[in-house]
Amino acid sequence: ATLTQLWISYNQIERVSGIQACKRLRVLYMSNNKIKDWAEVEKLVELPELVDLLLVGNPIEERLTKEGRWKMDVINLLTQLRRLDGKDVFDLEPAPAYVDDDDGDKPSGSGVRQE
């Protein structure tokens, strides 16, 4: 049997050294620990099947959230993620911006200008 889920929240964990051996890990819940360095988050790149990650309540998450960078930085790093901190990744991505070219045309429902 290979470990696919690891629930280790509230354990005063500062480092994730050795987690790279868990290549089949799909779910990692380690909220409210003591992870403070981005380098620890970067180690998770070596978990190719990781799709659900919970790191809320760690110093690194709190700091980067205040800077407005946490969600996008993690999503860009761990491109296979489907859930981050309890939310679907697709719900975390910013909506595409609509550029108003001021020509008076209204966009169609498909986003393609109709002439």
Give residue-wise pLDDT tens across range 78-109: 999 999 999 999 875 554 555 555 555 544 44
The reported pTM is 0.77
Instruction: State both tokens at 72.
Output: 């996008």
**In the predicted model, what is the mean pLDDT of residues 25-37?**
98
Q: DSSP character for 35?
A: -
Q: In one letter, which amino acid is 53? A: L
CA distance 22 to 48: 10
Check pLDDT > 70 for residue 13: yes
